[in-house]
Amino acid sequence: MTDTRLSDLVQAMNEGRINRRQFIQWALALGVSLPALALGPGAGAAPASPPRVPSSRSQTDATTLIIADNLAGNWITLDPARIYEVNSQAAMNVVYECLYHLPDSTKADQFEPLLAEAMPDVSADGKVVTIKLRPGVKFHNTGNEMTSADWIYSWNRLKAVADNPSFLAEYVGTYEAVDPLTLKLTLETPNAALVPILAATPLSVTDSKAVMEQGGADLTSAGTPEAQGTIDFMTKQSAGTGPYRVTTWDIETEVVVEAHADYWGGAPKLQRIIWRNVGDPNTQLQLVQTGEIDIAYAVDPDKVAEVEADPNLQIFQAPTLNLDYLAFNTSEAVGGPLAKKELRQAIAYAIDYDGIINGLSGGASIRPATMIPLGLLGTEEVKDLAYKPDLAKAQELFATVGGPVELTLTYGADASSSNGVSLDVLLAKIQADLQKIDGLTVKLNPMDQAQRLADFRAAKIAFTFSGWSADYPDVHAYAEPFGKTGGAAAKRVNYSNPQVDALLAQGIGELDPEKRKQTYIDLQKLMIDDAAFIALEQPIDRKPASKAVQNVTTHSIYMIQLRYASKTA
Amino acid sequence: MGLWAYIGRRLVLAALVLIMVSIGTFLLSHAVPGDPISAIIGERQADNPEVRAQFERRFGLDKPLPLQYAYYVRNLLRGDLGLSISTRQPVVEDLQQFVPATIELTIAAMIFAITVGVPLGIIAAVRQNRWPDHLTRFIALIGTSVPVFWLGLLFLYVFFYRLRWLPGPGQLDPGMSRPDYVTGMVTVDAILARDWDALRSVLRHMVMPAVVLGSFAMGIVARMLRSSLVAAMSDDYVRTARAKGLVERRVVAGHALRNALIPTVTVLGLTFAGLLTGAVLTETIFSWPGMGQYAVKTAIKLDYPGLLGVTLVIAVTYVLFNLLVDVIYGILDPRIRIS
């Protein structure tokens, strides 16, 4: 039986010309087996979505947006004091609000006031910051009016519960309420990244009265245990000012947020947004193709062409701020020969970056020069200084190390890179690339990811593959952990460069944007030369969606910008 | 020994088994290299002792191991299985949600396996070595040999994506509220709440995962029943029944089948327990909010409390089903004396 005859049958049934019983009879008469049905139209080279028949059982309409995501694997909570997951930022962005936000992450320096009335008023010495709050903002769960006391409570709580995001509270210095609509922050040193930090979702405002009614103590000291009842309330409901509030929280099935009609910015265009728990990207795509959902969170690189060819679909895409990188321990004791800069540089020259980006990742990546993603301050200016494949140069540098070298490249078993490429495949390629250097042998060492992380964090691994994602969209969010002596990532490889430290101190306190940019350019040049880390790729996020979805973009921090989302019927 | 005394004795033994399982799982899970806090602590806080201490305190990992076990047993007796490291929710609450979902899916899978497998087995035995027998053998072979993940993806592709006869993954339609929690099984709760829309929705969503999950058991039942029925059909009592002049239908249904069912029941009992605990792939493919997905998540995250909760449920399931099978044995064949 040919594909055409089968598709004719399917079409006839979908159009109501034959019923299911007749369909089966015909199909059996024509000798169709189940596998043949599966391998029928669409399974081969000519992809074609099935007819988009509006389903009577689906509640999809112009007021409901449905997104498929692996909730069970990637979501834990929307509590601002505890959230540190990536995917759930899409919901966080429409449920809780910060003083400032970044509407479009492709314009990474264009922050706008959200619950602040204007950009902050900074004193001449840069240490005192006064922020006027937007009046008339109400919490969506109680209708209580937002005041500066709520901000003080929220930030105190962030510090006190001492969960993953609590470090962000350290950046805002000491804070006080000047009046119900004014906050005053006093910093030890000027902080040029303050606005991006204040846009990080854990620093959003929570309805203090509602939390305290649920048993939340007036938390003042770090590590104060919070009652499970408060944690449950903050997990299963919401107490923010955002345009949507959580009405269903069940990450094994779905999370639903409903519009807040009394929202200070005017009622949102959608009535509700639903996240469905669907783990497999191919199934997510099938759900979009059949019209059962509107947006798929992920897509396999080899399905992108199919989406682009489908007239009913669109694809949202933009670079993330995630990085996949190689790290070398620069101490003699742990890194051995890797303590020599020349060996690290030789490795950087031996890698076929284009093969990784275009071959393995299907072109869904870009590559910065060092551990600061493209799009952030001063990165375009050093982009061309990135290491490029040059085997002769690699061999020349390797010769200065002296003698054959054997390295062990450690990575998390069963893990994948930020854009879904199996690490077994990716690192086998890197192994092959590196062994083109005469005298260099690389052994791969896949190990339990939790154990690898523990060892890496304890600076016990000589050579490893790892990943990093943004805490807040500013150059300092990467330059500090990777560049500063004792920084969160730098200490794992014992990296230290006093010149980089000095530039970091200068950069964070420099309030003039042009001077600040030059500081980070200089700093990146030093980091490129030191080669303690090699940035392999910065993935481009791609999300297939129905053409009915409008005013939605991917976002490097919120993952999907849903604040302005709407749908046509 | 009477039936009730036997059941009582087995229940006491079951309690001992569960205690051993809890100790064994506790020690084994803690012996595995790896640190659960490393799996959940963020990159920026990995070296922050205050945050690490907070997590350890919250999940009860700040005490020496023997004390952790003592607390665990004490809390277990109070019905508290601790806080799951992966979901950050009480394990009891997690299990209350996931176990009923798996039970109802497994029951549906078993209904499929029995209603299709038993008739196929009978037809194959009665029409031995003729085309219905060969067809049954083929179907049973497919059921037992096709990997669940492949069958699941195939079903989704054909019946959801191409034909649109059945809904996609999930337990209910998007945005549909779950009926009020009574048993946790959405089918039962929907009936109790007279929420017919939810009932219709959950039944439609259940068809594909139930058939996929039950296909292996269906194949086993059909093959097992066929061979035991073929053996029974040549026994003396069947010849006697025929000599009495009984019609073939009564010979098969009234005499041979009853005896042939005994080994099938054993297999069914253990298969049911196996399905309950082994629905990981089916649940993942069909986004069914059951225990299988939870078990994987707790194992990956070294979530000791969650892992212990899952293990206890599995142990209880096996112990209960072994007992149930023994009791059904006695009912099916009164000659089998429980001792």
What is the tens place of the pLDDT at every residue in A510-533?
999 999 999 999 999 999 999 999
Could you tell me if A98 and A201 are in contact, meaning their C-beta atoms sit under 8 angstroms apart? Answer: yes
Residue among B164, B284, B294 whose CB faces A290 most closely: B164
Cα–Cα dist A160/A274, whole Å? 32
Is the residue at A408 inside a domain?
yes
Residue B256 DSSP label: I
The predicted pLDDT at position A42 comes to: 37
- Judged by CB atoms closer than 8 Å, whether chains meet at A222 and B50 is answered as yes
Q: Which of A374-383, B46-55, B140-149 has the highest mean pLDDT?
A: A374-383
Asked if B293's CB is within 8 angstroms of A292's CB, the reply is no
Contact criterion met (CB below 8 Å) for A241 and A114: no
Residues in chain B closer than 8 A to A256 (CB atoms): 175
Q: Are residues A343 and A411 in the same domain?
A: yes
Q: Is B287 on the interface with A (CB under 8 A)?
A: yes
Best-predicted range by mean pLDDT (A47-61, A190-204, B136-150): A190-204
Identify the band that residue A58 occupies on the pLDDT scale cut at 50, 70 and 90.
very low
Between chains, do A164 and B44 touch, taking CB under 8 Å as contact?
yes
* B contact residues 188-247, partner A, Cβ 8 Å cutoff: 201, 204
Instruction: Give which of A510, A556, A550 is closest to A318, Cα–Cα.
Output: A556
Coil/strand/helix, residue A128: strand
CB contact (8 A) between residue A167 and residue B45? yes
Q: Say whether A53 sits in a helix, a strand or coil.
A: coil
Least CA distance to B55: which residue of chain A? Answer: A163
B51: Cβ contacts below 8 Å, ≥ 6 apart: A162, A163, A164, A166, B41, B45
Output the DSSP codes for A166-232.
GHHHHTT-EEEEEETTEEEEE-SS--TTHHHHHTSGGGS---HHHHHHTT-----STTPPPPHHHHH
- Looking at the fold, whether A514 and A382 belong to one and the same domain comes out as yes
How far is residue A417 from each of residues A94, A365, A435, A478, B89, measured CA to CA in Å? 28, 11, 22, 19, 29
Beta carbons within 10 angstroms of residue B31's beta carbon: 8
Which of B45, B85, B206 is the mutation pick for testing A, counting most A CBs within 10 A?
B45
pLDDT at A20: 47
Same domain, residue pair A16 and A134: no
Percent of residues in chain A assigned helix, strand, coil, to nearest 5: 35, 20, 45
**Helix axis angle, A498-509 relative to A476-483, nearest 10°?**
160
Strand positions, DSSP E, B126-199 = none
In angstroms, the CA B10 to CA A563 distance is: 60
My answer on whether A561 and A448 are in the same domain is: no
Domain check: are A269 and A374 in the same one?
A: no
Tokens of A435: 């062994």
How many Cα atoms within 13 Å fall on the side-chain side of residue B124? 25
- First vs last C-alpha separation in chain A: 38
Report CB contact under 8 Å: B170, A277. yes
Q: Which of residues 262-301 of A touch B (CB under 8 A)?
A: 272, 274, 276-280, 282-283, 286-287, 289-290, 292-293
Pick from B267, B200, B83: which is nearest to A226 by CA? B83
Q: Is residue A43 pLDDT above 50, yes or no? A: no
Q: How far is B130 from chain A (nearest CA, A)?
A: 21
| Strands A365-366, A405-412: pairing kind | unpaired
- A interface test, pick of B75, B83, B157, B212 with most A CB neighbours within 10 Å: B157
Q: Where are the alpha helices (DSSP H) in A380-420?
A: 391-401
Phi and psi, residue A70, nearest 5°: -80, 75
Q: Residue B251: CB partners within 8 Å, gap ≥ 6?
A: B238, B241, B242
Residues from chain B that touch A259, judged by Cβ atoms under 8 A, are none
Torsion angles phi and psi, residue A249, rounded to 5: -130, 100
B205, B165 in Cβ contact below 8 A? no
Q: Give the C-alpha separation, A397 to A414, whole Å.
A: 33
Domain-located, residue A533: yes
| Residue A560, strand partner residues | A554
Measured distance CA(B213)–CA(B280) in Å, rounded: 10
pLDDT of residue A221: 59
Look at residue A54 and tell me if it is in a domain.
no
Smallest Cβ–Cβ distance between A76 and the set B88, B153, B201 belongs to B88
Please judge whether A50 and B162 are an interchain contact, meaning their C-beta atoms are less than 8 angstroms apart: yes
Sequence-distant (≥ 6) Cβ neighbours of residue A417 within 8 angstroms: A324, A361, A423, A426, A467, A537, A539
CA distances from A508 to A167, A516, B304 (A): 17, 8, 42
- Judged by average pLDDT, the poorest of A166-180, A257-271, B258-272 is B258-272
Question: In a mutagenesis test of the B interface, which of A78, A280, A449, A456 is the best target, namely the one with the most B β-carbons within 10 Å?
Answer: A280
- Is B42 close to A165, i.e. CB distance below 8 A? yes
Same domain, A451 and A468: yes
CA distance B299 to B36: 10
Residue A362 pLDDT: 84
Same domain flag for A149 and A8: no
The per-residue pLDDT for A303 is 87
Q: Is B127's Cβ below 8 Å from some Cβ in A?
A: no
Domain that holds residue A147: 64-277+547-567
Closest CA to B89 of A79, A142, A239: A79
Task: Kindly state the greatest CA–CA separation across chain B.
Answer: 85
CB A224 within 8 A of CB A166: no
Q: Answer yes or no: are the C-beta atoms of A194 and A99 closer than 8 Å.
A: no
Whether A58 is covered by a domain: the verdict is no
What was the pLDDT predicted at B335? 67
Top CATH class of B97-300 equals mainly alpha
How far are the Cα atoms of A459, B141, B156, B261 from residue B228, in angstroms, in the given order? Answer: 63, 17, 35, 8
**Chain A contact set for B156 (CB, 8 A):** 283, 286
**Contact map slice: B 136-195 vs A, CB within 8 A:** 153-154, 156-158, 160-165, 167-178
The minimal CB distance from B35 to the residues A280, A287, A454 is found for A454
Q: Which of B46, B171, B285 sits opposite A457 (nearest CB)?
A: B46
Around Cβ A498, how many Cβ atoms within 10 Å? 8
ipTM exceeding 0.90, yes/no: no
SS3 A220: coil
Q: Which of A455-459, A557-561, B312-316 has the lowest mean pLDDT?
A: B312-316
Q: Which residue of B40, B56, B58 is the best one to mutate when testing the A interface, meaning the one whose CB has the most A CBs within 10 A?
A: B58
Residue B175 with chain A: CB contacts under 8 Å: 59, 64, 66, 254, 256, 272, 274
- Residue A44 pLDDT more than 80? no
Our count of domains for chain A comes to: 3
Question: In this model, does residue A462 exceed pLDDT 90?
Answer: yes
pLDDT score recorded for residue A560:
95
Cα dihedral across residues A30, A33, A37, A43: positive or negative: negative
Interchain CB contact of A374 with B (< 8 Å) = no
A515/A562 same-domain check: no
Answer for the pair B96, B288: CB distance below 8 angstroms, yes or no. no
Identify the pLDDT of residue A222. Answer: 58
Mark yes or no for CB contact B174/A489 under 8 Å. no
Q: What pLDDT is stored for residue B336 in this prediction?
A: 63
* Position A554 in a domain: yes
Sign of CA dihedral A50, A55, A60, A62: positive
Name the β-bridge partners of A439: none
- A46, exposed or middle or buried, with CB in 10 Å at 0-12, 13-18, 19+? exposed
Test B38 with A167 for CB contact under 8 angstroms.
no
The residue in chain A having the minimum alpha-carbon distance to the alpha carbon of residue B289 is: A252
- Torsion angles phi and psi, residue A539, rounded to 5: -65, 150
Check residues A242 and B267 and name the one with the higher pLDDT: A242
Q: Is A10 on the interface with B (CB under 8 A)?
A: yes
For residue range A159-207, what is the model confidence (pLDDT) as tens digits? 988 899 999 999 999 999 999 999 999 999 999 999 999 999 999 999 9
Residue A63's pLDDT is 93
Contact call for B169 and A248, based on CB within 8 A? no
Instruction: Give the separation between CA A205 and CA A81, rounded to whole angstroms.
Output: 10
* Amino acid at site B286: F
- DSSP strand pairing (A182-186 vs A244-250): unpaired
β-sheet with A174-179: strand ranges across: A121-122, A128-132, A182-186, A174-179
Q: Are A167 and A184 contained in the same domain?
A: yes
> What's the CA gap between A396 and A346, in Å, rounded?
8
Whether residue A496 lies inside any domain: the answer is yes
Name the percent of chain B lying above pLDDT 70.
96
Residues A34 and A70 in one domain: no
Counting residues of chain A whose pLDDT is more than 70, the rounded percentage is: 88
Q: What is the CATH number of the domain that holds A337?
A: 3.10.105.10
All residues of chain A having their beta carbon less than 8 Å from the beta carbon of residue B159 are none
- Comparing C-alpha atoms, which of A561, A64, A568 is closest to residue A270? A64
Q: Considering only CB atoms, which chain B residues are within 8 Å of A50?
A: 161-162, 164
pLDDT for the residue numbered A484: 96
User: How close is the nearest chain B Cα to the Cα of A202, in Å?
Assistant: 13
Strand A553-555 and strand A559-561: pairing?
Answer: antiparallel
Helices (H), B1-147: 3-31, 36-40, 49-58, 65-77, 91-126, 131-145
- Within 477-536 of A, beta carbons closer than 8 Å to B belong to 481, 488-489, 491
Q: Name which of A30-39, A199-208, A383-392 the model is least confident about.
A: A30-39
Mean pLDDT calculated for residue range B84-88: 87
The dihedrals phi and psi of B292, each to the nearest 5 degrees, come to -60, -50
Distance CA(A169)–CA(A152), nearest Å, equals: 11
B229 vs B326, residue with greater confidence: B229
Taking one residue from A and the other from B, the number of pairs with CB-CB distance under 8 angstroms is: 178
Would the CB atoms of B164 and A277 count as touching at under 8 Å?
no
Q: Give chain A's length.
A: 569
- Could you tell me which residue, A470 or B114, shows the higher pLDDT? B114
Predicted local distance difference test score (pLDDT) of residue A550:
95
The mean pLDDT value of chain A amounts to 88
- In A511-552 the beta strands, taken as DSSP E runs, fall at 533-546, 549-550
pLDDT, tens digit (0-9, with 9 covering 90-100), for A72-86: 888 999 999 999 999
- Element housing A113 (H / E): strand A112-113
- Taking a C-beta distance cutoff of 8 angstroms, is the pair B248, B146 a contact? no
Q: Are residues A331 and A256 in the same domain?
A: no
Contacts of B47 (CB under 8 A, 6+ apart): A457, A488, A491
Contacts of A42 in chain B (CB under 8 A): 161-162
The span from the CA of B133 to the CA of B120, in Å, is: 8
CB contact under 8 A, B51 and A164: yes
Whether B144 and B137 have beta carbons less than 8 Å apart is answered as no
Q: Where are the domains of chain B?
A: 1-86+305-339, 97-300
CB contact under 8 A, A60 and B87: no
Q: Across residues B281-306, what is the average pLDDT?
A: 86
Q: What is the pLDDT of residues A268-319, one digit of tens each?
A: 999 999 999 998 888 899 999 999 999 999 888 888 889 999 999 999 999 9
Tokens encoding B74:
């004490």
CATH of the domain at A131: 3.40.190.10
**Partner A contacted by B282 (CB < 8 A):** no
| pLDDT band (50, 70, 90) for residue B1 | low
Q: Which pLDDT band holds residue A55 (cuts at 50, 70, 90)?
A: very low
Q: Is the pLDDT of residue B131 over 50?
A: yes
DSSP, collapsed to helix, strand or coil, labels residue B71 as helix
**Are A191 and A171 within one domain?**
yes
Q: Is the pLDDT of residue A17 over 60?
A: no
Residue A437 in contact with residue A472, Cβ under 8 Å?
no
Per-residue pLDDT, A280: 85
